[in-house]
Amino acid sequence: MRLIRHFKYATSSILGVVGLLTLSGNLLADDGYHAQYANRFEVLPAISPIPANNSLTESKIELGKMLFFEPRISGSGVISCATCHNPALGWTDRIPRATGHAAQVGERNTPTVLNSGFFAAQFWDGRAADLEAQALGPIEADIEMNMSLDDAITRLKGFKEYQDAFARAYGGDGEKQITPNNVAHAMASFQRTLNTPNSPFDRYLQGDLAALTDQQKRGMALFADSGCNACHSGPAMTDSYFHVIKVPGSTDLGRFLVTKNEADKHAFKTPTLRNVAVTYPYFNNGGTATLEEAVQVMGKEMLGREYKKNQVADIVAFLHSLTGEMPHIEIPALP
Amino acid sequence: MRLIRHFKYATSSILGVVGLLTLSGNLLADDGYHAQYANRFEVLPAISPIPANNSLTESKIELGKMLFFEPRISGSGVISCATCHNPALGWTDRIPRATGHAAQVGERNTPTVLNSGFFAAQFWDGRAADLEAQALGPIEADIEMNMSLDDAITRLKGFKEYQDAFARAYGGDGEKQITPNNVAHAMASFQRTLNTPNSPFDRYLQGDLAALTDQQKRGMALFADSGCNACHSGPAMTDSYFHVIKVPGSTDLGRFLVTKNEADKHAFKTPTLRNVAVTYPYFNNGGTATLEEAVQVMGKEMLGREYKKNQVADIVAFLHSLTGEMPHIEIPALP
């Protein structure tokens, strides 16, 4: 996995250099920012790292897509992964806190699944290490989909089409292949394809100096100079690590509830900044509606500084450049 | 509208004859059924009739698609048309009765929107004459999306992207064009594209004698000979008219609640049989889970006869041949 990851970054870097050299108008030119800042960020690849124990195949992706849209593995029969991770809304729900089974409202904001294959920890509190470990939790959670895994597996086994799809994905007897582990692997495979490459910022990093406006470049510089990318690092602009933060209105103990370690009280995983402009509202409790407010909160809470109005505007303009190409997903016809 | 409709049928008939003549193996042949039964049914066209007051344009269809998937015109912010009319589930929800705002359960089964442009009345009780008149009801219904039209319009006006989309669809000042009437017209336009042509039965009607199995042909013959297509008539296999029927478990007064006419007590609109195999469960209360049971209920209630087991199996096989090509819909990225 590490090898693949390095290979991808190497490829991105080469593409970046080629891009820079071939932009005739900007040949070896600089805009006063690129030479200084571009190497402090990473381009987002189109495919996230693939773990050795879950090869990425077309049949698993197709099956994972069906399962992602499948509401019949919920207690009510009407809630699927896509209900809260709504593809029409940046693969999240754009409400403060998730609404699940029987219209119950959870404690936390729904994170987008976009680019989640680049995260080294899943959920706000990191209680799952990877997408495979994450996939089944929401099915069983009583305030989310509220169905036991046994019932979900039994329900899937009832469809000949799922038996066939599991046989295509995993070989052998399809009905026997309908297991929690294989469900999780298929969903994880599908999610690894939900990436958003080619944002204006990525095009800029690769040498298209006109891909960002001057204001966005100022925002990028201020973002880096402020140290924001200490935590918002890597291709998905998250270190997948946990940092103590008390955002307005939140009393959530966060990572502490997983580790029982005092130091983890109110610690949450650094959220990705990719597509942050379309995945509002913000923070673990979804209590902050706009990017402007979110930038101010981060300045105060994490950096102990108060940004001026024009600085906030510059950073927000930069954050808008992180919206990439959305995956083109046709809704599957379920059995 | 009538002209277009007739033109389409004429085209279908011509295609049918051409199909028959060009099927080398079956040239002028008959299978013992086609000559006798094909003329008692109608081919489903790819586009439904277009009313004179709502021309079908690409920009209206695109806008209607956005609105169809838009949950922010619901009180909770999480329910859109696509929640109950789920594209993954035959554009219905495959549960007995619709689950709406705050997990409330309605009185009736969600009808599919597939081919609904062919209906001459909308809703189970026909309280709307066409798709334009139908579109806004579920937004306002307190057990469905639970948002006043005023609030919905205000919310849409808040998005620059919707202002642009309404300007593209209707010309002029986009913000001023965001009206209930224009919302309804756009949604109706989108729904008129959600048709399912080229089912095995349609291919059979057009001359592909191998498109149905022998059992399906027996089912078709029994269906016609029993008089089922007296009501299940026309391209969508519904007369869009109202018939008194008390299905197991239902006390719903149906059409009477609209007309207050005694004769309409327990009367419901004939549902389409197109895609009936993928739009279970059945009847106004969704109380019948399988096609086998549904056929038996219809025999008893509407025809006063009891079908034998093999007859039920034949009709059910025929009904499976009415599943057409599902529309290929890519989920829009909403503003």
pLDDT in tens, A281-290: 999 999 999 9
Please answer whether residues A130 and A137 qualify as being in contact, where contact means their C-beta atoms are separated by less than 8 angstroms: no
What CATH number has the domain spanning B2-46+196-320?
Answer: 1.10.760.10
Q: What are phi and psi of B200, to 5 degrees?
A: -50, -40
For residue A87, which residues of chain B lie inside 8 Å, CB to CB?
331, 333
pLDDT in tens, B16-60: 444 444 444 444 578 999 999 999 999 999 989 999 999 999 999
Omega before residue B281 within 30° of 0, cis: yes
Q: A41 Cβ partners below 8 Å, 6+ apart?
A: A201, A205, A220, A224, A229, A237
Of B278, B326, B331, the CB nearest to A87: B331
Q: Touching check for B77 and chain A: CB below 8 Å?
A: yes
CB pairs under 8 A between A and B: 74
What CATH number has the domain spanning A58-191?
Answer: 1.10.760.10
Q: Touching check for B153 and chain A: CB below 8 Å?
A: no
Q: What is the structure's pLDDT at A221?
A: 97
Going by pLDDT thresholds of 50, 70 and 90, the confidence category of residue B101 is confident
Instruction: For residues B228-245, give the mean pLDDT.
Output: 95
pLDDT in tens, A36-90: 999 999 999 998 999 999 999 999 999 999 999 999 999 989 899 999 999 999 9
* Catalytic site includes residue A330: no
Helix (H, G, I), strand (E, B) or coil at A225: helix
Q: Same CATH topology for A2-46+196-320 and A58-191?
A: yes
* Among the listed residues A266, A282, A269, A285, the one whose alpha carbon sits nearest the alpha carbon of residue A319: A282
Q: What is the structure's pLDDT at B2?
A: 40
User: Which residue shows structure tokens 């059992």?
Assistant: B215
Q: Report DSSP state, residue A92.
A: B
Residue type, position B178, single letter: I
Q: Report DSSP state, residue B135.
A: T
Q: Touching check for B199 and chain A: CB below 8 Å?
A: no
Burial class of residue B236 (count of CB atoms within 10 Å of its CB; 0-12, 13-18, 19+): buried
Radius of gyration of chain A (CA): 21
Q: How many other β-carbons are positioned within 10 Å of the β-carbon of residue A1? A: 10
For residue A329, which residues of chain B lie inside 8 Å, CB to CB?
330-331
pLDDT in tens, B201-221: 999 999 999 999 999 999 999
pLDDT in tens, A233-249: 999 999 999 999 999 99
Rounded distance, CA B91 to CA B94, Å? 9
**Contact check, Cβ <8 Å, B330/A330:** yes
Cα distance from A76 to chain B (closest Cα, Å)? Answer: 9
What proportion of chain A, given as a percentage, has pLDDT over 90? 84
Residue type, position B37, single letter: Y
What proportion of chain B, given as a percentage, has pLDDT over 90? 85
Of B83, B95, B329, the CB nearest to A77: B95
**Contact check, Cβ <8 Å, B331/A331:** yes
pLDDT of residue A117 exceeding 60, the answer is: yes
* Among the listed residues B62, B77, B16, the one whose alpha carbon sits nearest the alpha carbon of residue B43: B16
Rounded distance, CA B40 to CA A315, Å? 67
Rounded distance, CA B140 to CA B142, Å? 6
Cα distance from B231 to chain A (closest Cα, Å)? Answer: 28
Q: How many other β-carbons are positioned within 10 Å of the β-carbon of residue B44? A: 26
pLDDT in tens, A310-321: 999 999 999 999
Catalytic one among A70, A132, A144, A293?
A144
CA-CA distances (angstroms) from residue B280 to A250, A263, A290, A326, B283?
A: 44, 53, 43, 33, 9
Q: ipTM strictly over 0.95?
A: no
Instruction: For residues B242-265, give the mean pLDDT.
Output: 96
Q: What is the structure's pLDDT at A28?
A: 55
pLDDT in tens, B170-187: 999 999 999 999 999 999
**Contact check, Cβ <8 Å, B93/A78:** yes
Query: What residues does each domain of chain A span?
Result: 2-46+196-320, 58-191
Overall residue count recorded for chain B in this entry: 335
pLDDT of residue B164 exceeding 50, the answer is: yes
For residue B95, which residues of chain A lie inside 8 Å, CB to CB?
76-78
Q: A150 Cβ partners below 8 Å, 6+ apart?
A: none
